[in-house]
Amino acid sequence: MKISIIGAGSVRFAQQLVGDIAQTEKLSKDNTYVYLMDINEKRLDASYILAKKYVEELDSPINIVKANDMDEAIEDADFIINTAYPYDPRYHEDGFQKWEIITRIGEKHGYYRGIDSQELNMVSTYTYLLASYPDIKLALEIAKKTEEKAPRTYLMQTANPVFEITQAVARWTRVKIVGFCHGVAGVYEVFTRLGLDSREVDWQVAGVNHGIWLNRFRYKGENAYPLLDKWIREKASDWKPKSPWDMQMSPAAIDMYKFYGMLPIGDTVRNGTWKYHYNLETKKKWFGEFGGIDNEVERPRYHEQLRNAGKRLIELAEEVQKNPRIMLTQVLPEIFKKGETSGEQHIPFINAIVNNEKTRLFLNVENKGAIKDFPEDIVMELPVVVDGEGIRREKVEPDLTERIKKFYLWPRILRMEWNLEAFISKDKRVLEEILIRDHRTKSYEQVVKVLDEILKLPFNEEIKKYYEI
C-alpha cells in the first residue's frame, strides 16, 4: 500500500500521521510505503529524517520514502493526503507572513482583522483575498494529476479552506475527494464540562466545515440538552478559558446555542456573526480574557509559536543526523507519541477502507440527502460510517433547526459559491461585490483602493494577472 502526504513540510502534522500509521497494527507492515513530498526541500528533509527515526523508535516496519516531485508521490498511490499550501520562497517566509501583510493593509482601509474576516467565516487565515485562488489552483493541480496517475485513489483534503477546495474538486473533477477536519473533537469538551461518560452519549454533529452543530445529544437514552441548560444556569458564569483556543463553552457558544437552538461545535464558535467580533473588547466579552485566537494579540503570537516550533523540528532533525541515539519519543513526546495516536481521522479512515473495519467518522462529502433542504452535490460535514465498501452517510436526525439552515448554513454556502465564482470567472468585479456586502464597507471607493493595494503586492503578481484577464 502506498500512502502519500503532499505538503509533508508541515513537519509536525506529517509526524502525527506517520505515528498513527505506525501504531495501527493492520497498517504497520513492511509492504506499507509512506511517501513524503514537499517543494520546500529543507522542511521535507527534516520531515523525512524525523519520520524515519520515529518509526524506528516505534519498532514499525513501514517504509518512509522521500518523493522528489508530485508525480512520484501521486503515481499509483492508494491514498493521497493533501496538506499543502501554496509556497513561494521568493516572496515570503511562510503563509502566515502574506496573511499578516494583507491584514495590515485591510485594517489601514477600515477592515478590522483584514478583508478576509467575514461574517460566518472569521477563521480568516483559511481564505485569501476574499477568494482562495492560490489554494484552489494548487488543489486542482493535485486533483488533475490524481485523475491521470491514480484515478481510483481517495484524495484526502486537509489543507484549508476545506469547504471551498473539496467542493471545487468534487464539482470540476472526477476524483474521489473527502475533506478532513478535527473540529468535531469539540464535543468531548462539552461532555467533560457536563461530567458525562462519553461512552454513554449518543450524538451527531452536522453542517459544513467550520460550521457544525450538535443536532443529536442524548445521555443514557434521554435528551441531554437539559443537562447543558442546567450547566448554563449554575456554572456558565464561572467559565474561564484555559487558552486562546478554548472557546467551546464560552459565552459566545452559549449565546449561539440560545439563538440557533443547537450548540455550535469546534471552530463554529469562532465563526459566528460580527456580534462577537467588532473589536478586541467585544471578543474578550464573548470569548474570555484572551479574546479567542482571532485577534490582533493572540493570532500574531500563535504564528510566532508555529515558526519557532517549525525551526525547532528542523534543528532536531539536524541533531538526529549527528546523534542517532536521540529518542524523539522522549525529547518531544507531545509530538512523537508512543502508545497513543493523534486523534486525527485520516488513518482510521484508511484502515477502515483497507481492512474493512467499520468506523464512524465525521467527514466532508457531498450531501446526497443526508441533511434535508440542501442540494445533493453540496459538500457538507456529516456523520458517516466507513468500511471496505466505502462511505455511507448517516441520516442527520433530528434535523438541524430552521434557524441554523436559514441564518447560518445557507449564508455560509453562498460565501463558498461566491468564492468559486471568483475563481472560475476570473472577474475582479466578483471580489468587489463580495466586499461591498461587508458591513465595514462605507463606499465603493474604499473597496477599489484596498483591493488595488493588495493586488499590487509583489507576491500577488500572479493573482493580479489572473483577475485582469
Q: Count CA atoms within 13 Å of residue 468 on its CB side.
A: 10
Q: Count CA atoms within 13 Å of residue 402 on its CB side.
A: 0
Phi-psi group of 104: left, alpha or beta (phi > 0 → left; psi -120 to 50 → alpha; rest → beta): alpha
Rounded CA separation 396/394 (Å):
6
145, three cell numbers: 494529476
Query: Does the pLDDT of residue 254 top 90, yes or no?
Result: yes
Q: Read off the pLDDT of each residue in 285-312 and give the average, rounded to a whole number.
A: 96
Query: Does the pLDDT of residue 161 top 90, yes or no?
Result: yes
Spatial contact of 416 and 377, defined as CB atoms under 8 Å apart: no
Query: So what's the pLDDT on residue 386?
Result: 98
Least Cα distance to 176 among 192, 161, 157, 158 occurs for 157
Q: Read off the pLDDT of each residue in 122-127 and give the average, rounded to a whole number.
A: 78
**Any idea which residues carry the catalytic annotation?**
182, 267
Cα distances from 60 to residues 21, 77, 96, 333, 343, in angstroms, run: 9, 20, 35, 17, 19
* Average per-residue pLDDT for the chain: 96
Rounded CA separation 426/414 (Å):
18
Residue 12: φ, ψ to 5°? -60, -50
Burial 138-169 (b: 16+ CB within 10 A, else e): bbbebbebbbebbeebbbbbbbbbbbbbbbbb
Residue at 469: amino acid letter: I
Q: Read off the pLDDT of each residue in 45-63 and give the average, rounded to a whole number.
A: 98
Q: Read off the pLDDT of each residue in 229-250 and give the average, rounded to a whole number.
A: 98
What are the pLDDT digits (tens) for 178-227?
A: 999 999 999 999 999 999 999 999 999 999 999 999 999 999 999 999 99
Q: Which pTM was predicted?
A: 0.96
Cα distances from 215 to residues 225, 252, 257, in angstroms, run: 10, 18, 11
Number of H helices, E strands in the chain: 18, 13
Beta strand 222-223 with 211-219: parallel, antiparallel or unpaired? antiparallel
Please tell me the total number of residues recorded for the chain in this structure: 469
Spatial contact of 253 and 226, defined as CB atoms under 8 Å apart: no
Residue 263: φ, ψ to 5°? -80, 130
Query: Does the pLDDT of residue 469 top 90, yes or no?
Result: no
Spatial contact of 53 and 15, defined as CB atoms under 8 Å apart: no
Spatial contact of 86 and 138, defined as CB atoms under 8 Å apart: yes
Residue 413: φ, ψ to 5°? -65, -40
